[in-house]
Amino acid sequence: MSALRHALLLLCLAALVGCGGTTDGPTTLTELPPVDPAAAREFQAGVRLLARGGRAREDRAAEHFEAALAIDANLWEAHYNLGVIARGRGELRQAVERFEQARAIQPAAGEVLVGLAEARNALGERDQAASLLNDYVSGHPDSIPVRLALSAVERQRGNHDAALSHAREVLVREPRNVAALTEIGRIYRAREQYDVAQLVFQKAMTIDEGSAALHNEMGLLELARGDTQAAFEQFAQAIQIDPAFAAAHLNQGSVLLHAGDYEGAATEYRAVLEHDRDHVEARVALGAALRGQGEHREARRYYEAVLDDHPNHPAALFNMGVLLAEFLDQRPQARDLFERFLRVAPSSGEYREMAEQYLRDIPAPGAAAPAGGGE
């Protein structure tokens, strides 16, 4: 490996927001030609922009990565970073395409496998995600980031024994690994062994004191137990530790939204946007809270703004479709949105079923309304 490519790889791994972990070292990577210096400059400019955050900088970073690839088609790191950007925007199929392009050039990069598996998993392609990660772990048993990703995928597939086995393998190698303990707590939570999950999260807290993320996990545990008030307190504790911690605000907002406190939910979502005005999930969720308050035009404005930035964002497409169909009497336009949603959404799930039902109920242009089912 050339010195320039090695330095470039290290920069990618150290600076990227959302980087999935490190590889097992450059000796496991396919030897590639030296990076073109002009491509390296474009790539590094993109990484610097990504590290600073923000939608506009992200767009400019993507331009630099594309420019780097136009100069040096072997720059798999640029494909990877473009996949990270697409994944963060909810554009899962574009993310898969980018990660696959990176993998075709550099099949031994662990972070590429993690990114690809996470995107496929989010699309509901969990068997493919598990297969990818299993193949890698079988040849790289000490790869902690990939093994943790595999544990999470197996948990979501319902293979709790396999998930526990992989997380425990990480603890054999790193007994104080908080991410592994957190994953074990999640597995016990999924098994509805709530007392055991609580003990595991508490053990993790003794290692990572004052962790907002662990209080957030405890909040999700209390929700699973059905104790909304205790969950609320845990999310509030997470927010007190880190006022910018988006996950806790989003979870707190979700609790309020389901309780019918739309104004309170909107406050939580706006708190996220105060720290990150481009946060896509918060923008979509705020639209739902505004819809609940009867602010339908304002909700539409939020959804349209998200779709201007992220035309294939599944949640924005679905929620905009519901708003048009149910509240603004614009069912033909809603049909188009549900069709777009089904092209980019996960392959299964409640929202996909609901979108399919809307398409059955809303006549296609020129078609008669379904007997007894249309409006």
- Average predicted confidence (pLDDT) for the chain: 89
- Of the pLDDT bands very low, low, confident and very high (cuts 50, 70, 90), residue 25 is very low
**Are 89 and 310 contacting, i.e. CB atoms less than 8 angstroms apart?**
yes
Q: What is the mean pLDDT of residues 336-349?
A: 90
> Is the pLDDT assigned to residue 15 strictly greater than 60?
no
Q: What is the pTM of this model?
A: 0.81
Q: Determine which of 18-27, 71-80, 116-125, 339-348 has the lowest per-residue pLDDT on average.
A: 18-27
Residue 93 CA neighbour count, 13 Å, CB half: 13
Q: What is the pLDDT of residues 139-183, one digit of tens each?
A: 889 999 999 999 999 999 999 999 999 999 999 999 999 999 999
> Is the pLDDT assigned to residue 336 strictly greater than 90?
yes
DSSP 8-class letter at 24: S
Which pair of structure tokens corresponds to residue 220?
């999700």
Which of 24 and 332 is assigned the larger pLDDT? Answer: 332
**Which pLDDT score is estimated for 335?**
96
Q: What is the pLDDT of residues 171-218, one digit of tens each?
A: 999 999 999 999 999 999 999 999 999 999 999 999 999 999 999 999
**Measured distance CA(85)–CA(78) in Å, rounded:** 11
Residue 109 burial by Cβ neighbours in a 10 Å radius (0-12, 13-18, 19+): buried
Which of 316 and 17 is assigned the larger pLDDT? Answer: 316
Torsion of CA 230, 232, 238, 241, to 10 degrees: -100
Q: What is the mean pLDDT of residues 75-91?
A: 92
- Of the pLDDT bands very low, low, confident and very high (cuts 50, 70, 90), residue 1 is very low
Residue 165: how many other CB atoms lie within 10 Å: 14
Place of tokens 């603890």: 171
> Is the pLDDT assigned to residue 338 strictly greater than 80?
yes
**Which pLDDT score is estimated for 364?**
85
> Is the pLDDT assigned to residue 14 strictly greater than 80?
no
**Measured distance CA(232)–CA(248) in Å, rounded:** 9
